Structure 1
Amino acid sequence: MELVGSLFHRRTNDEIHDGILGCYCCIFPLVDGIPVLHLQPHATAARDHIQAGEPGLARRAMVGLEDAAEAEAFDAIASSGTATYRETVEALGPNFEGGYFLYRFSDPTYIVAQAVVRSVAKTVLPALSGVEGPALSGVEGPALSGVEGHGTRRAIDICGGSGHLTRSLMDVSSLPPVLADLYYAKVWLARRFTAPGCEPVCCDGNAPFPFARGAFGFAMCTDAFMYIWTKRQFVGEMERLIDNTTINAEAAEPAEKNGSARSARSALNGAAGEPGAILIGHTHNERTWSPSHGQPLSAEGYRNLFETFEPRVFGEAGLFADVVKGGPIDLSRRDPDEVLDRDPALTIIASRHPRVFATHRLDALPPPAATGEFRLNPLYAATANGNSVRLRLQFPNGDYAEEYGACREYLPEEVFVDRDALAALPATALPDALVDLARRRVILDLPKRYY
């Protein structure tokens, strides 16, 4: 797949902003730097706008704002260099993500997923300093160019929304993680705010994935799999994405057979031949109730989706307990079926890597320096109290309290903090007076311009 140079496109140096990507059988739009690799109606409309030389209308079509006034308001926010994630989400309308993703970085689902994601990804992803390679099947571009073939062994976050967990992968490997989601606005937000530096791709999780076999060492999907209809196909595609049998077969061939192409791959694949991993996190259990059920399976049903792996299924309650106590997180455990049957959410890991199913130490809180900036958790309302500030836990609504109320196990209901210390935020280095609050997730490392 490559840029169709005879059709409208915009590029600067080696970066393609808008255009049409084509292969032998189909063409797809590239909208504001994001490949849209599905054929749903809004993607078709965006493709027509690109071909007509109207990239602004193409982005409007992908964002899905049909009202002209709303679209103009979003365009104004999108062109602002000071607009926040919160303001941009609000400009996308009251139904976009329900607003709850603003509070994502301290909710129970996130803290468990982040711990498991980082534990597994750090195990299977080698640090490939200074190496680049393609993830999309044949797509060329600034972030997708480099060594031809497989072996990038990067991470992919499938159905990753606006990139909150993708952000936790950014420092695990030197290769930028790919964020794939059906909803263009979400991956656009991730690239702009939540996980800058990731490679966003707009594609359909209910269709075969547009990525090369073995292009990834770690494939994940969290808090979304129960909404996928084609679950068996989805899992088969995840297995394909981390299939390194081609890599290992090439490595075993004589050097003269593959020549310089093999030599380039060999440098890249020195550690890439190790087994990868699949992670499906926070998928609902058909044998219990949850507020947003989807189309879940039982633990046995999830296991039976895998063809080439024997996955291990974990009850999320046990993982949550590990995280709340500060770790380590025990992935060597084997939860019995009776434990799994009563847990509302399950985590599934499939890997042949010998160090995945082990005990993993959690990252220390707070980090030595912020990835973005240290700020007050947006779940806290601040009230002046003389030389101190009263911080009170305040949920945005009853639905949030019902679904994420378990955060009370680690978030204090009320704390008082020195006014001057709090006034030093946002900051990339944490004042000593706020270190304990950061350990308790009252202070968070948030993306810049988050709210």
Structure 2
Amino acid sequence: MVRGHPSGATVTLDALTPLLRCPACGAALSLDRVPQPDPEAGDCGVLRCPCAADYPVLDGVPILRTGRLDRRSIADDLVLAPGPDVAAVVSAVEAGRALGALVDLLAAPLCPWPLNRVGAGRRLSLLGPLRSAGLALRRRRVHAMLRHRDGLTAEDWLATFYLHAPEVYDPFNYFFFRFGTPRHLATLGLVSALPADASPVLDLACGYGHLAHTLSALGRAVVGLDQNVHQAWLARHYVAPGAAFVCADASRPLPFADAAFGAAVCSDAFHYVRDKGGAVAELDRVSAGGPLLFPTVGNALVGSPDGHELAPDAYRALFDGWHVRVTSDDAVFAHYREGLGPDLSGPDADVDGAKWLAIAATKGDPDCLLRDHGPLDAGPGGWPHAAGRLALNPLYEREPGGDRRALRMPSPWYEAENGGVREYMPAVVGEGEALTTALVARAAAVGLPERYARPRRPWTQRADRALTRAVRRVRG
């Protein structure tokens, strides 16, 4: 089981900088810190390369990208707001205006609820004058939130990013309620196969840092990479503050030194990568032959393609010269529910009929990775998902006037994607019930970041759910 070393649980910007490389030429970068007049701008600076390329650091997050930093919709990749280019952000940092650049990169156009639930309303909010007005209001809101950032939670920011933005609401549910879902637990099951190592782990396409939170809480040094500034920023400050995060494009050469990491994980994202062969080659370079883990990879043979899926044999072909095992998420999850790590001893089972695959590969000793990993041994009671501040799963809501909390699905989409939680989570728990080992074993209690969830759901979320259900009934 990945236990790591407590001394490696926190990755500071100073510790991260020697691992970074210029994505254009591959040279080492030097950090030039630039103090800002606004304390809410955080730790800012410029990473300078001998090739004359400069990259900004905003609030502790290096942005190793080129071109324009557009704010895009996760739902359908619409450009919600054209962002500044990287050179403009560098200039803003050098001129002491980093806070304005940070606000711009965290702000998306405002689309008043419930118009953001309607496709036409969403598109309407992106038209010239409406988008300009929405962005101005959003910037004021984000600026105010940054002034009070220490009193906010990840939930507050996710609601700001999605509830009143021209997005469908499900991205909020997908990210906020991720802890304890079958997909996340399967990821933790596969990642439990990582051997203990003081070297950091690369979390590629890290999203909002849910996996990084668990690995960091278990004492492993983690560096996350995502192309979205707002995801890397929220992960760094609210979800996994012990880890370091970099905003960069995974489709380009990874901005890291050779052998910078002891392992790499790409969870629920590898099927979106176009050049998978190039990605494997880059992961090989930065991890010196792995191990590499890919939980939740889409299978092109089953259902509608999601992203750029391949068939299982095509995934295997990417790892020529590697020791590789392809199994299914369902198999890994079934073992995890029994308190076991994955059985990677092989040979590969027939997974052609499985929609979601799990891939493990290494160029090192295969017996360290490709074996039956047996009982879990991390976190309270041996459960990795309990690492962190133990709390009731946010899917449980207080019943009106009652002394119980009930398991509630936040949306029809979430029910369709994650309804399997009902198979292992109890339908109700007592108000104030002790967070026992039994609740942990059923993922009704999970380890959360310190500043993750509000004590109770805001009325806006409850109203949105009620409207969603009413619309579905009418359409149905």
Q: Normalised by the size of structure 1, how large is the TM-score?
A: 0.76
Correspondence list, 1:271-282, <5 A: 276-282=290-296
In structure 2, how many angstroms separate the alpha carbons of the residues matched to 1:71 and 1:373? 32
The Cα shift of 1:368 comes to: 8.5
Q: Match for residue 179 of structure 2? A: 105
Residue segments in structure 1 that go unaligned for 5+ positions in a row: 129-152, 244-274, 423-430
RMSD: 2.6
Correspondence list, 1:64-83, <5 A: 64-65=107-108, 67-80=135-148, 81-83=150-152
Residue segments in structure 2 that go unaligned for 5+ positions in a row: 1-28, 70-84, 110-134, 454-476
The Cα shift of 1:194 comes to: 1.2
SS at structure 1 position matched to 2:193: helix
Among residues 203, 206, 218, which one is paired with 2:251 in the alignment? Answer: 206
- Render the CA deviation track for 1:239-275: whole Å, top value 9, x for unaligned: 11111xxxxxxxxxxxxxxxxxxxxxxxxxxxxxxx6
Change in Cα spacing, 1:367 to 1:75, as seen in structure 2 (3 Å) is: farther
Among residues 163, 168, 176, which one is paired with 2:214 in the alignment? Answer: 168
Q: Match for residue 318 of structure 1? A: 331
Among residues 89, 94, 97, which one is paired with 1:46 in the alignment? Answer: 89
Among residues 285, 301, 304, which one is paired with 2:299 in the alignment? Answer: 285
The Cα shift of 1:172 comes to: 5.0
In structure 2, how many angstroms separate the alpha carbons of the residues matched to 1:182 and 1:283? 19
The Cα shift of 1:203 comes to: 0.6
- Render the CA deviation track for 1:310-348: whole Å, top value 9, x for unaligned: 321111121121122332431213333xx3111001111
2:221 matched to 1:194? no
One-letter code aligned to 1:31: L
Correspondence list, 1:121-200, <5 A: 123=195, 125-126=196-197, 128=198, 153-172=199-218, 176-200=221-245
Q: Match for residue 378 of structure 1? A: 394
SS at structure 2 position matched to 1:302: helix
Q: Is the 8 A contact 1:328 1:359 kept in 2?
A: yes
- Render the CA deviation track for 1:65-88: whole Å, top value 9, x for unaligned: 360211221222233211111111
Deviates more, 1:207-216 or 1:375-384: 375-384
In structure 1, how many angstroms separate the alpha carbons of the residues matched to 2:387 and 2:143? 28
In structure 1, how many angstroms separate the alpha carbons of the residues matched to 2:407 and 2:156? 22
One-letter code aligned to 1:208: P
The Cα shift of 1:229 comes to: 1.4
In structure 2, how many angstroms separate the alpha carbons of the residues matched to 1:308 and 1:217? 19
Q: Match for residue 257 of structure 1? A: none
One-letter code aligned to 1:30: V
Identity %: 30
SS at structure 2 position matched to 1:20: strand
Q: How many residues align?
A: 370
Q: Is the 8 A contact 1:155 1:178 kept in 2?
A: yes
* Higher relative contact order, chain-length normalized (CA < 8 Å, sep 6+): 2
Q: Match for residue 73 of structure 2? A: none
In structure 1, how many angstroms separate the alpha carbons of the residues matched to 2:35 and 2:429? 55
SS at structure 2 position matched to 1:180: strand
The Cα shift of 1:438 comes to: 2.3
The Cα shift of 1:61 comes to: 3.2
Among residues 256, 259, 266, which one is paired with 1:221 in the alignment? Answer: 266
SS at structure 1 position matched to 2:47: strand
The Cα shift of 1:399 comes to: 0.7
Q: Is the 8 A contact 2:325 2:359 kept in 1?
A: yes
- Render the CA deviation track for 1:87-109: whole Å, top value 9, x for unaligned: 11112233383432111111111
Among residues 351, 356, 378, which one is paired with 1:345 in the alignment? Answer: 356
Change in Cα spacing, 1:86 to 1:173, as seen in structure 2 (3 Å) is: closer
